[in-house]
Amino acid sequence: MALALAAEGPIWPLGVYFVLVVVLAAGILAFSYVLGQRHRQQATDVPYESGMTPTGGARLRFPVDFYLVAMFFVIFDLESVFLFVWAVAVRELGWAGYVEVLIFMAVLLAALAYLWRSGALDWRASGSKPAPDKERGQ
Amino acid sequence: MMTRDLLALGPMLITAGGAVVLLLALAVCRSHAFASAWSVLVLAAALAAIPMTWPGAPASGDLLNLLAIDSWALAFWGIIFGSALVVCLLGFEYFRPLAVQAEEFYVLVLLSATGAAVLAAADHFATVFLGLELLSVSLFALAAYRRDQAISIEAGIKYLVLAGTSSALLLFGLALLYFHTASLRLSGLAGPLLAGHPDTIALYAGIALVLVAMGFKLGLAPMHVWTPDVYQGSPAPVSALVGSVSKAGAMAFMVRLAGVTLTGTPGVRNGVFYGLLVLAIASMFTGNLLALRQPNIKRLLAYSSIAHMGYCLLAVLPMAAGAALDRQAVFYYMLAHAVSILGAFGCVCAASENGREAQHVEDYRGLAWRRPVLAGVFSLMLLSLAGIPLTAGFLGKFYVLASGVRNALWLPAVCLVINSGIGLFYYLRVLGTLYQREEAESPDQFATSTAPSALLQPSPQLLLTHLTLAALVVLLIYFGLMPALASLPM
């Protein structure tokens, strides 16, 4: 079936809408520039203007293993999503579906075994001691 | 029903299963030699399984919905698995002296070959996307495989960003096409199904987005910018993989897409035809003109492959007529291009020493006097890329040009001829460098440079690479003299 992408009608309201969006955004910026107060004092640019004084730089070196955890979560979380879908229709899919799910799980198990053995689940950096505390805050 | 399906899927199941088994084996014990031998074995088995399934349309409807395992797909599987096999052979001696873990390279090559095979047989939007993603995601990792080199990581990141963008465009295009046709089948775009419905913007935009996404993968002209960087930064075997496996899979799908859309409604037909025409001519000129003064051999080969994809589109353009001759021309062209580009990158592998790739054209100055056989092989590959008779590249170009002339596509045919002339310049420039004697070196230079004497005898640790190159030369000449494969029924 052929569906029309846009309802039949003039396109100028879209243009007006676009102009309004631009005018609104520009207006907010301009008014706050004109009407807003300005002050420049000693503590204006520090992150917590009336809080504690920050110490040290923000450019620390974080261990990046956390992204691995996130990736594993996505992968194995999706596995369970597929299993749920299969479980709902398990009777209709029959043995063929069962075999297919087994293959699916076997591939994921192989991946898990590989990850485990290659040390990806070891959340410390490979073979190193835990990150020393004094590195933080340098 | 089941056995027939399994047989039809056989080659793909072998590579996919081979990758999983290899992954498990790596979990137990790491061995570069085993990983290499296993992947070569798996790809050889996949190649051997292709004639068994020929012509192999699966019997059951479930599979037919997703994949079209016809002789077209099987022929391209031959290119894909054969190229991946060559890449594995080249990779063994390329990665052996390096300090990187080389075993995963083979897993990724197997996976990318599987992805390209899925793409070549895809007849459903789901399999198109799955195949493309399997191919691309393996290639990101492969491009960045030499983590010791910043340029390799750069290549990986660039490929990641651009391939991700093109995947997004593809998905959006597929969604729009589904919106218009209410069918996820590629054949849902065919003329009879669309007849009687007015074309909508969704249809045009969908087809354009899918074409652009495939243009990205093929490195066609306005979407070509990633090609030189990725070819340059990737390890040489990976560049060979990008030039052969990835291009073959994408071109196989491009032909399917063109075959369906070029028989569509007049609006679709004209849009796709002129779109492809512009892409073809732009690719030819862009690739060849940018290669003219390129000093880096890998970038030069990248520009050359851009131009080659442009040439090949000349035989895709008349796909509406559905003539088997045009499909055969595309197949033969991709076959010849795969053999030549694998050979050229194989020579780059063979000329590289101790993990430093011989990338610069200057590295090849006087190669013919140091390693005459290697220089001879490299010359043959370059001549094949230039389309000189007695090589596979000539016959490929001949078929493509014949296809263009038969269908009276004069403009792109004339562009092909002009560009062949332009292309000859830079291939011959490299050839000339190969046979130039090195300049009379001053004594102190001569004392410090130990490289020529080391290069004088073919080093025994490159035996496998040399054997692979020899096999490629045999194939190159064979396909150049006996175009029997070009008459496969398609």
| Better-predicted residue by pLDDT, B150 or A58 | B150
CB-based contact (8 Å) between B182 and chain A? yes
CB-neighbour burial class of residue B321 (10 A; exposed 0-12, middle 13-18, buried 19+): middle
Q: How does residue B193 score in pLDDT terms, banded at 50, 70 and 90? A: low
Using the predicted structure, report yes or no on whether residue B407 has a pLDDT greater than 90. Answer: no
Q: Say yes or no for a CB contact (<8 Å) between B201 and A118.
A: no
Supply the range of the domain harboring residue A92.
65-117
CATH code of the domain covering residue A75 = 1.20.58.1610
Chain B residue with Cα closest to A103: B17
Chain A, 80 to 119: residues with Cβ < 8 Å from chain B are: 106-107, 110-111, 113-114, 116-118
> Mutate which of B1, B5, B24 to disrupt the A interface (most A C-beta within 10 Å)?
B24
Q: What is the pLDDT of residue B447?
A: 41
Section B303-321 average pLDDT: 88
CB-based contact (8 Å) between B20 and chain A? yes
Q: What is the pLDDT of residue B175?
A: 92
Contacts of B28 in chain A (CB under 8 A): 117
Of A3, A4, A114, the CB nearest to B23: A114
Contacts of A104 in chain B (CB under 8 A): none
> How many angstroms away from the CA of A25 is the closest CA of chain B?
29
Using the predicted structure, report yes or no on whether residue B16 has a pLDDT greater than 80. Answer: yes
Does residue A123 sit within a domain?
Answer: no
Question: How many domains, in total, are found in chain A?
Answer: 1
By three-state DSSP, how is residue B383 classified?
A: helix
> How many angstroms away from the CA of B24 is the closest CA of chain A?
6
Rounded to 5 degrees, φ, ψ at B360 are -85, 145
Q: Say yes or no for a CB contact (<8 Å) between A3 and B201.
A: no
Compute the distance between CA of residue B112 and CA of residue B142 in angstroms, rounded to an integer.
9
Section B221-233 average pLDDT: 90
Compute the distance between CA of residue B91 and CA of residue B402 in angstroms, rounded to an integer.
37
B243 with B305: CB under 8 angstroms?
yes
- Which CA distances in Å does B295 have to A102, B236, B300? 53, 16, 7
Compute the distance between CA of residue A72 and CA of residue A66 in angstroms, rounded to an integer.
10
Compute the distance between CA of residue B229 and CA of residue B215 in angstroms, rounded to an integer.
17
B179 with B207: CB under 8 angstroms?
no
Contacts of B197 in chain A (CB under 8 A): 1-2
Compute the distance between CA of residue B428 and CA of residue B476 in angstroms, rounded to an integer.
19
CB-neighbour burial class of residue B453 (10 A; exposed 0-12, middle 13-18, buried 19+): exposed
Using the predicted structure, report yes or no on whether residue B298 has a pLDDT greater than 70. Answer: yes
Return the exposure string of B23-42: e unless at least 16 CB atoms fall within 10 Å of the residue's CB, then b.
Answer: bbbbbeeeebeebbebbbeb
Cβ neighbours of residue B469 closer than 8 Å, sequence gap 6 or more: B343, B346, B347, B350, B374, B377
- Give me the percent of chain B exceeding a pLDDT of 90: 43
Compute the distance between CA of residue B2 and CA of residue B148 in angstroms, rounded to an integer.
47
Average the pLDDT over each of B57-66, B196-205, B245-254, B284-293 and give the range with the smallest value: B57-66
Beta-carbon neighbour count of residue A132 at 10 Å? 7
Section B326-332 average pLDDT: 88
Contacts of A114 in chain B (CB under 8 A): 23-24, 26-27
Of B20, B23, B180, the CB nearest to A2: B180
Q: What is the pLDDT of residue B362?
A: 83
Cβ neighbours of residue B309 closer than 8 Å, sequence gap 6 or more: B218, B219, B220, B247, B251, B283, B287
Contacts of B201 in chain A (CB under 8 A): 5-6
The length of chain A, given as a count of residues: 138
B10 with B77: CB under 8 angstroms?
no
Average the pLDDT over each of A16-25, B100-109, B362-371 and give the range with the smallest value: B362-371
Does residue A59 sit within a domain?
Answer: no
Return the exposure string of A106-122: e unless at least 16 CB atoms fall within 10 Å of the residue's CB, then b.
Answer: ebbebbbebbebbebee
By three-state DSSP, how is residue B122 classified?
A: strand
Using the predicted structure, report yes or no on whether residue B445 has a pLDDT greater than 50. Answer: no
Q: Say yes or no for a CB contact (<8 Å) between B27 and A118.
A: yes
> How many angstroms away from the CA of A115 is the closest CA of chain B?
8
Q: Say yes or no for a CB contact (<8 Å) between B180 and A114.
A: no
B241 with B112: CB under 8 angstroms?
yes
Chain B residue with Cα closest to A119: B27
> Mutate which of A100, A116, A117 to disrupt the B interface (most B C-beta within 10 Å)?
A117
Q: How does residue A28 score in pLDDT terms, banded at 50, 70 and 90? A: very high
Compute the distance between CA of residue B85 and CA of residue B69 in angstroms, rounded to an integer.
21
Instruction: Provide ipTM, 2 decimals.
Output: 0.77
Compute the distance between CA of residue A97 and CA of residue A89 in angstroms, rounded to an integer.
9
Q: What is the pLDDT of residue A134?
A: 40
- The per-residue pLDDT of chain B, averaged, comes to 85
Contacts of B130 in chain A (CB under 8 A): none
Using the predicted structure, report yes or no on whether residue B400 has a pLDDT greater than 70. Answer: yes
By three-state DSSP, how is residue B198 classified?
A: coil
Average the pLDDT over each of A66-75, A129-138, B426-435 and give the range with the smallest value: A129-138
Q: How does residue B62 score in pLDDT terms, banded at 50, 70 and 90? A: low
The single-letter code of the amino acid at B160 is L
A98-111 pLDDT, tens digit each? 998 999 999 888 88
Using the predicted structure, report yes or no on whether residue B442 has a pLDDT greater than 80. Answer: no
Query: Quick one: which of B93, B117, B100, B103 has its CA closest to B23?
Result: B103
- Give me the percent of chain A exceeding a pLDDT of 90: 22
Using the predicted structure, report yes or no on whether residue A54 has a pLDDT greater than 90. Answer: no
| Better-predicted residue by pLDDT, B124 or A120 | B124
Work out whether the CA dihedral B324, B418, B222, B384 comes out positive or negative: positive
Q: Say yes or no for a CB contact (<8 Å) between A5 and B198.
A: no
Average the pLDDT over each of B124-138, B196-210, B297-311, B338-352 and give the range with the smallest value: B196-210
Compute the distance between CA of residue B479 and CA of residue B483 in angstroms, rounded to an integer.
5
Q: Say yes or no for a CB contact (<8 Å) between B179 and A5.
A: yes
Does residue A91 sit within a domain?
Answer: yes
Contacts of A2 in chain B (CB under 8 A): 180, 194, 197-200
Token pair for residue B301?
């080969």
Q: Say yes or no for a CB contact (<8 Å) between B28 and A4.
A: no
Q: What is the pLDDT of residue A130?
A: 46
Average the pLDDT over each of B194-203, B246-255, B311-320 and give the range with the smallest value: B194-203
Using the predicted structure, report yes or no on whether residue B336 has a pLDDT greater than 50. Answer: yes
Q: Say yes or no for a CB contact (<8 Å) between A110 and B200.
A: no
Q: What is the pLDDT of residue B208?
A: 92
Contacts of A118 in chain B (CB under 8 A): 26-27
Q: What is the pLDDT of residue B201?
A: 83
Q: What is the pLDDT of residue B40?
A: 94
Using the predicted structure, report yes or no on whether residue B314 has a pLDDT greater than 60. Answer: yes
Q: How does residue B415 score in pLDDT terms, banded at 50, 70 and 90? A: very high
Using the predicted structure, report yes or no on whether residue B120 has a pLDDT greater than 50. Answer: yes
Q: What is the pLDDT of residue B189?
A: 74
Geometric angle at alpha carbon B111, from B105 and B114, rounded to 5°: 145
Q: What is the pLDDT of residue A125?
A: 55
Contacts of B199 in chain A (CB under 8 A): 2
Q: What is the pLDDT of residue A3?
A: 47
